[in-house]
Structure 1
Amino acid sequence: MTTDTLLTTPVASARPAPVQARRRKPRAYPVFRVVALTLVVLMFVAPLVWMFIASLKTNVDIYDASKTLLFTPTFDNYANVLSRNNYFSFIFNSFWVALWSTVLSLVLGVPAAYAMSRFTMHRSAMVVLMARIIPGVSLLVPWYFIFANLRLVGGFGVLILSHMFVALPLIVYIMISFFDSMPLELEEQAQVDGLTPIGAFARITLPLSVPGLATAGILSFIFSWNNFMFALVLSGANTKTLPVAIFNFVSYASIDWGSLMAAAVVVTVPIMVIALFTQKYIVSGLTAGATKG
């Protein structure tokens, strides 16, 4: 081959062929995501906004469609709820029952969950979960019969025990998955250093399970605070909780919507504040066992 031929022969490019561009997401996807998120937020926020706005209206303004947004706000509903109906005592009752039902459920549920996790008692865990699935209304009649014969109906003790029926299985189920995600080698090393199995649990495992304890405790407290059915049947005049007290604004002839909405705000705000300040513990505790293995 001559020199002229080499000069006229095209030389193959040393660079590789261009990589095919990645497929771009359709432009409709971001729009659909924004629309979907907006609808979900509106579904959850709109009732809360309407509840707060209605709590600042009179009953006449609530029924007047022309005053949906433009109205003269009043705080008489909150005065009716907090001062005239003595709702501070109902708030204390709800807090007292929720606190002790949560504390006792943690004391009983955490060791039970640890034993079920370490000894792989899956069938026992399923039995505990079944207790959570059973409708509470199916137990109200036998509970009322038993507690009435023991003359316990109307006291704080029976309310705490009934709320533990909801809280205890929830705590056990959350803590089982949390203990499953914790390495067993930590406890074995602690026992090699001289600790007993109970000491290893108390000094090593329990401090490391604080996120799970916080999650279980917060959710248990929220469920107890919002419980209506057990308190409606088993509470008395001096142990009535907030959800039951709200029901007093509903009568056969009419409904005091303004005071009802104000009472609903009083019930909702404390739980919303607790949830906002403790959401990181709830998320970390609920996802503790998701990455196991």
Structure 2
Amino acid sequence: MRVSAPYRVFKATALVVVVLTLLAPLVWMVMASFKTNVDIYDVGKAVFFEPTVENYDTVLQQADYVRFIVNSLWLAFASTALSILIGVPAAYSMSRFAMRRSALVVLMARVIPAVSLLVPWYYVFSNLRMVGGFGVLILSHMFVALPLIVYIMMGYFDSLPLELEEAALVDGLTPIGAFQRISLPLSTPGIATAGILAFIFSWNNFMFALVLSGADTKTLPVAIFDFVGYASIDWGGLMAASTVVTVPIMVLALFAQKYVVSGLTAGATKG
């Protein structure tokens, strides 16, 4: 079917508007990170200005943000790895044994607003003297990451043909062996998808770390708040810290997008 010229113009215009709407805040954030606070407030220097790296020097050296970056990386890797270790076998069991009620419970845990659990968590973990440590942060992040991984992997395992596992059982493998040697290797794209999404959630999480972290376990999103004072805001430092938080995740999403798309679409249909 031949597409009319007005439709092509409308499509191109709509695409440009959407891209500019999404990229404009990011471009402004990066540009502001290279400005002084005076230049940020100066409308005449919105585009043309003399760049400075003073804000990044403040973030990476004076404010010791490298330690906060390490904390965020460790927390994201640990919570994601543990969630995959527990969630993938759980999703396989729910898929193969049709445990739909258990799956519904997992889905409900994904739907419950996490903010409603912060007060009970703080009360319980403070009595256990765990508040301020990495253990409580990992558990709190797993509460969201684990249901997400189970939900994604259930759909992926549903799409894998049972005939492959039945053939493995005929060849002498146990059900666990069939899972390890057949289903698990075939589900690698789904695991990559779930792991990437869980990692992004953990890296960006602010609420859990704000309430449950301590001085030694503070993560990067919480540390950004240090630039917000009672009487003033260091916009240059704030934008530089926000860029440090945002750019790694954007690069990860850019390079991993084909794995995310393939993993999600593979679990969308049943084979």
Deviation track 1:245-278 (CA, whole Å, cap 9, x = no partner) reads: 0011111111100000000111111111111111
Instruction: Please state how far the C-alpha of 1:70 moved relative to its aligned partner.
Output: 1.0
Partner of 1:4: none
* Aligned amino acid, residue 245 of structure 2: V
The alignment's TM-score, normalised by the length of structure 2, stands at 0.98
1:252 to 206, 211, 230: 230
Does residue 1:193 correspond to 2:171, yes or no?
Answer: yes
* Aligned amino acid, residue 256 of structure 2: T
Question: 5 Å matches for 1:1-293?
Answer: 24-292=2-270
Deviation track 1:15-63 (CA, whole Å, cap 9, x = no partner) reads: xxxxxxx6x4332111111111111111211111000000000000000
Instruction: Please state how far the C-alpha of 1:114 moved relative to its aligned partner.
Output: 0.4
Assess if the C-alpha contact under 8 Å between 2:227 and 2:233 holds in 1: yes
Instruction: Please state how far the C-alpha of 1:291 moved relative to its aligned partner.
Output: 3.1
**Structure label with greater radius of gyration:** 1
CA distance in 2, matches of 1:79, 1:90: 15
- How many residues of Structure 1 are paired with residues of Structure 2 in the alignment? 271
* Aligned amino acid, residue 86 of structure 1: D
Assess if the C-alpha contact under 8 Å between 2:190 and 2:267 holds in 1: no
Could you tell me which runs of 5 or more consecutive residues in structure 1 were left unpaired when the two chains were aligned: 1-21
The alignment's TM-score, normalised by the length of structure 1, stands at 0.91
* Aligned amino acid, residue 257 of structure 2: Q
SS of 2:266 mapped into structure 1: coil
CA distance in 1, matches of 2:65, 2:93: 42
SS of 1:278 mapped into structure 2: helix
* Aligned amino acid, residue 71 of structure 1: F
* Aligned amino acid, residue 200 of structure 2: I
Over aligned residue pairs, what C-alpha RMSD do you find?
0.9
Assess if the C-alpha contact under 8 Å between 2:220 and 2:245 holds in 1: yes
CA distance in 2, matches of 1:27, 1:126: 48
User: Percent of aligned positions with the same letter in both sequences?
Assistant: 73
Deviation track 1:132-168 (CA, whole Å, cap 9, x = no partner) reads: 1111110000000000000000000000000001100
SS of 2:145 mapped into structure 1: helix
Which range is displaced more, 245-254 or 154-163?
Answer: 245-254
CA distance in 2, matches of 1:156, 1:290: 35
Instruction: Please state how far the C-alpha of 1:289 moved relative to its aligned partner.
Output: 2.3
CA distance in 2, matches of 1:272, 1:60: 28
CA distance in 2, matches of 1:225, 1:214: 16
Q: Larger % of helix: which? A: 2
